[in-house]
Chain A
């Protein structure tokens, strides 16, 4: 049994499919972050899921999916400012990594409208 079950939690969805659980988190959170399966929370729980795995923040509460082989997927909510801060830091680190590898920068460049030769000539 994971330590998650020993914490004070709220259940918002029970014994549902992973897709429905993800939809719930996406629709009912103030902030939504996406993590890879295996993302670690609360000391010893490694998130199980089909990527992209949504995790939500609603006030002081973190919403996440909890999967049990014989019972399906649950949406749990646990108050944890520490885990929420870690989630935000993780997102920042992902953006930095993406910028370094040219991911977002390349995307941003490609979004810029192409400059026409006529405009350049006029200038």
Chain B
């Protein structure tokens, strides 16, 4: 059913540990369900991802965040769903940008110490997945598992 559909995972700043774990988990889960998955992030985030998955077993396609935004704005690429990971105001701002430039169904994956207040500040169209998780990924994983695509 998801064959040929495109999913985008947008990584925020990689300083909170649960992010990388959840990105790898979700990318693998979507891939197994037939989605074409691209993971985008800063140079540092993409390096962390590639170091953890050297043979691209879990994540096959990565892209630089700025290049990806340029491609979406210039209409060279777009997605059916987008998961924007965020734990800071900057991450929330990137989510708003994707909400405006892409036609994808947007999920704001909000985590970290201030997850609840950050989620409240999201006033753009997005489905929110919120868990106050920093080191333990399970609260976030449980909520991600409930998402029906």
Which A residues are closer than 8 A to B by beta carbons?
2, 17-19, 36-38, 40, 44, 46, 48-51, 67-73
Contact = CB atoms under 8 A, between A and B. Distances in A.
B77 interface: no
Contact of A46 (B41, B69, B91): B69
Contacts of B100: 36-38, 51
Contact of B90 (A19, A36, A73): A73
B93 interface: yes
Closest 4 CB pairs of A and B: A70-B13, A50-B96, A37-B97, A38-B73
Interface of A is mostly: loop
B90 A69 contact: yes
A67 B13 contact: no
Contact of B124 (A38, A51, A67): A51
22 contacts: A2-B66, A18-B92, A18-B93, A19-B89, A37-B96, A37-B97, A37-B101, A38-B72, A38-B97, A48-B93, A48-B94, A49-B96, A51-B100, A67-B94, A68-B90, A69-B13, A69-B88, A69-B90, A69-B91, A69-B94, A70-B44, A72-B88
B15 interface: yes
Contact of A72 (B41, B73, B90, B101): B90
A73 B89 CA distance: 8
B65 interface: yes
Interface of B: 12-15, 41-42, 44-45, 65-66, 69-70, 72-73, 88-94, 96-97, 100-101, 123-124
Interface of B is mostly: helix
Nearest to A72: B90
Given A46-B73, A69-B13, A69-B88, 19 more contacts: A2-B66, A17-B89, A18-B89, A18-B90, A37-B97, A37-B101, A38-B97, A48-B94, A49-B97, A50-B93, A50-B124, A51-B100, A51-B124, A68-B90, A69-B45, A69-B65, A69-B90, A70-B15, A70-B90
A116 B122 CA distance: 45
Contacts of A17: 89
